Structure 1
């Protein structure tokens, strides 16, 4: 089955255990360290509970994304709403973490885009983010 063009699905293998990769996503300091490039001056906050909120912000770039924690199954699955500051559209991000080949397969499924262009822009951003996450795994392996 082919997913709609308004859905982004990306996979990366990270050379670290699922619990370690989960922490990289859910600990605010760790998330801020890899999510955007270091030059962005990224900060994050995470209230890790269903109904909790998160926010990733770059004051250097004047951008931020935030949302709610919809579901979590530590260290296997994290579901978040996603909204950029200043925008009305809210999308949904599901991240899964599966032990594989001595590390973790991370799958990001980002859904509910209103245009193919928006989905393509987010695919590029997620590719960049996930490449930095892979580097985190290499440093901790």
Structure 2
């Protein structure tokens, strides 16, 4: 069974994501996939660049295996905010990393009201990596675009060259 081509996300005031709503981002980075992979699978590195919804992280617990934990604790002005519990859905070292907020560690439902799934693909190219990311939302979930993604990836690229 093949998927139908996605027409792209609708725009406009009052937009509510549907079952096929997704935000796609493709970036070309000047570092090889293994260095970027670490930025997604190592919690200590992740907190230095990843800003879900534009909010900084106080901590990140990552168990890089299928069914593993991907928990992000947000912070603002030094105060801890909520912890986003996620589950690693799929991974292929240096090639693919997929997580969802619909499930927590060991595939246990989280009960979140706005489930989302992030799929990141790492493609090795001569100049480094073509990184493709898709953020998908469930029907009637609030849209949460990849806010802070550009700055975060630029920072990850800098961290990876050190």
Runs of 4+ in 1 over 6 A off after TM superposition: none
CA offset at residue 132 of structure 1?
Answer: 2.7
**Matches for 1:82-101 after TM superposition, within 5 Å:** 82=101, 87-101=112-126
Structure 1: which 5+ runs fail to align? none
1:77 aligns with 2:93: no
Q: Distance in 2 between matches of 1:44 and 1:116?
A: 24
1:11 aligns with 2:30: no
SS of the residue 2:154 aligns to:
helix
Please tell me whether the aligned partners of residues 40 and 61 of structure 1 are also in contact (alpha carbons under 8 angstroms): no
TM-score by length of 1: 0.78
SS of the residue 1:34 aligns to:
coil
Task: Give the helix-richer structure, 1 or 2.
Answer: 1
1:134 aligns with 2:157: yes
Matched with 1:46 is 62
**Alignment partner of 2:36 out of 21, 25, 43:** 21
Say if 1:101 and 1:117 are closer, same or farther in 2 by CA, change over 3 A. Answer: farther
CA offset at residue 114 of structure 1?
Answer: 3.9
How many residue pairs get matched? Answer: 135
CA offset at residue 124 of structure 1?
Answer: 2.5
TM-score by length of 2: 0.69
Q: Distance in 1 between matches of 2:57 and 2:118?
A: 23
SS of the residue 2:37 aligns to:
helix
Q: Distance in 1 between matches of 2:116 and 2:158?
A: 27
Structure 2: which 5+ runs fail to align? 11-20, 103-109
Q: Taking CA–CA contacts closer than 8 Å with sequence separation of 6 or more, which of the two structures ends up with the larger relative contact order?
A: 1
CA offset at residue 31 of structure 1?
Answer: 0.8
Q: CA RMSD in A?
A: 2.7
